[in-house]
Amino acid sequence: MKTPQADAPRFESLFGRPPKVQVRAPGRVNLIGEHTDYNGGFVLPMAIPQHTEVHLAPREGHTVRAFSANLGAQGQVDAYELGQEKRGRGWLDYVQGVTHVLRAEGHVPGGFDLWLRSDVPVGSGLSSSAALEVALLRGLREAFGLRLDDVQLALLGQKVECDFVGAPVGVMDQMASSLADTGAALFLDTRSLKYERVPLPTQVEPIVINSGVTHSHSGGDYRVRRAECERAAKLLGVEQLRDLPDAELPRALALPEPLGRRVRHVLTENARVLQTVRALREGDLASLGPLLYASHASQRDDYEVSVPEIDLLVDLARAEPDVLGARLTGGGFGGSVVMLARTGTGADAAARIATQYAKQSKHQATVLVPEASSGR
C-alpha cells in the first residue's frame, strides 16, 4: 500500500452510511530478539505510533466491499464473496486472508463494507501487514461479536500470513500489534506465549529510522533462513533451536556452512533478549548499547539478513554520543533500524543521521519515532 492520501473518499461517501465500528492497530518495532520467534525463542517488541485504521459496517449477504484510503481518489472499491477468497489481489489478500482464516477456524462473520488507511510504511520492517490483520480482526470481532481474546486474535493474524498470504512468519508481529503499547516493551516467550510488559527506563527513548530499502517476507530469503533453522534443529536432534543448550554450540558449528552460524545467531540472540530485559528492569543503561550493537553484528555476519544501507545507518548511529546502541529491526534485507538514545536527544540525532545517510547512500531515510520529527 502507498502512504495515505488526503483526497481519498470517506466511508460515508463510498457506502452511503456511517461505519458501525472504528478501530486501529499499531505497527511494531522490535528492540531485540530477531529471527528467534519461529525458533520458539524470546522477543522484545514495542508498538509504534504509526497504525492501521479500520472503519467497518456489516451488510446483508456474503459480499465484502473494501476500499483502501492509501490509494487516494484513484482507488476503487474492491469486492469478493465470503468463501470465495482467492489470493493474488495485492493488499486485498490481507482482507481475504482474514475472512478465509476466520471461517476456517469456525468464526462466521457476515458480509461487510470496509474502509482502511495506514501510515505504517510497507516493506519497512515495522509490520504493516500485522497492523492491517490485527486492526481488521479487531473490527470484525466488535462488529460480529466474535469470541476471541487478544492472543487468539494474534494467532489468527499469523495464520493469515502463513496459510493465505504465503509468508511463513513467526508470531511476534501479530502479538506485538495486538498486545504491545508505545510506552513499554513486550517481553514475549514465543513458545508458551507468556508475556510481560517491561517499561523503558525514563532516561532512554527509542528512535526508528526507515532506510527506504524495502523487503517482503513472502519472498525467498526469509523462507530460506527459516528452513536453515529447521534443518539445523533436525540435524542436532532438537524440536526447535530454543531447545539446544548453549553447551551444544560447538556441535552446531561443525554442521555444514552456514547452519552453524545460523544456530549461533539464534542462541546468542535469545541470550541477548534476556540480558536486555534484565538491563531495562535494573536501569542498567551501560549494558543496553553493546547488546543492540552485538545483535546487529550477529544479524549481519552470522544470520546475513542485513544490507549495506542498514549497516550504514548503524555506523552513523555509532558517531552519535547520545545514541546508546542501534540495530536492524524486523525481518531484514532492508527495512528499518531501531536505536536507543538518551531521552530528549533522539529527534536531533535522528535528523543528523538521516542527513548523512542521504549523502552517503542512494536512499532517503525517514524518521518514524520520535513521531514529532517525522514531519507529519
What are the residues binding ligand GAF (CB under 6 A)?
A: 34-35, 37-38, 169-170, 172-173, 217, 330-331
CB of 40 to ligand GAF, least distance (A): 12
Helix (H) or strand (E) holding 47: strand 45-58
Task: Reply yes or no on whether 119 is catalytic.
Answer: no
Is it true that the peptide bond before 258 is cis, omega within 30 degrees of 0?
yes
CB of 294 to ligand GAF, least distance (A): 16
User: Residue 348 has which C-alpha cell?
Assistant: 536531533
How many other C-beta atoms lie within 10 A of the C-beta of residue 79?
12
DSSP string covering 208-249, please?
A: EEE-S----TTSHHHHHHHHHHHHHHHHHT-SSGGGS-GGGH
Q: Which residue is nearest to ligand GAF (CB)?
A: 331
DSSP string covering 320-364, please?
A: -TTEEEEEEESS-SS-EEEEEEETT-HHHHHHHHHHHHHHHSSS-
Is residue 317 within 8 Å of residue 339, measured between CB atoms? yes
Measured from the CB atom, is 82 or 134 closer to ligand GAF? 134
Q: How far apart are CA 305 and CA 71, in angstroms?
A: 31
Measured from the CB atom, is 57 or 180 closer to ligand GAF? 180
Is residue 345 within 8 Å of residue 335, measured between CB atoms? no
CB of 149 to ligand GAF, least distance (A): 20
How many other C-beta atoms lie within 10 A of the C-beta of residue 49?
17
Measured from the CB atom, is 129 or 366 closer to ligand GAF? 129
Is residue 21 within 8 Å of residue 135, measured between CB atoms? no
Measured from the CB atom, is 34 or 205 closer to ligand GAF? 34
Please identify which of the residues 173, 221, 246, 322 carries the catalytic annotation: 173
CB of 18 to ligand GAF, least distance (A): 34
CB of 228 to ligand GAF, least distance (A): 13
Measured from the CB atom, is 37 or 53 closer to ligand GAF? 37
User: Residue 241 has which C-alpha cell?
Assistant: 533451536
User: Residue 375 has which C-alpha cell?
Assistant: 514531519
Measured from the CB atom, is 112 or 333 closer to ligand GAF? 333
Q: How far apart are CA 365 and CA 355, in angstroms?
A: 8
CB of 363 to ligand GAF, least distance (A): 20
Catalytic residues: 173
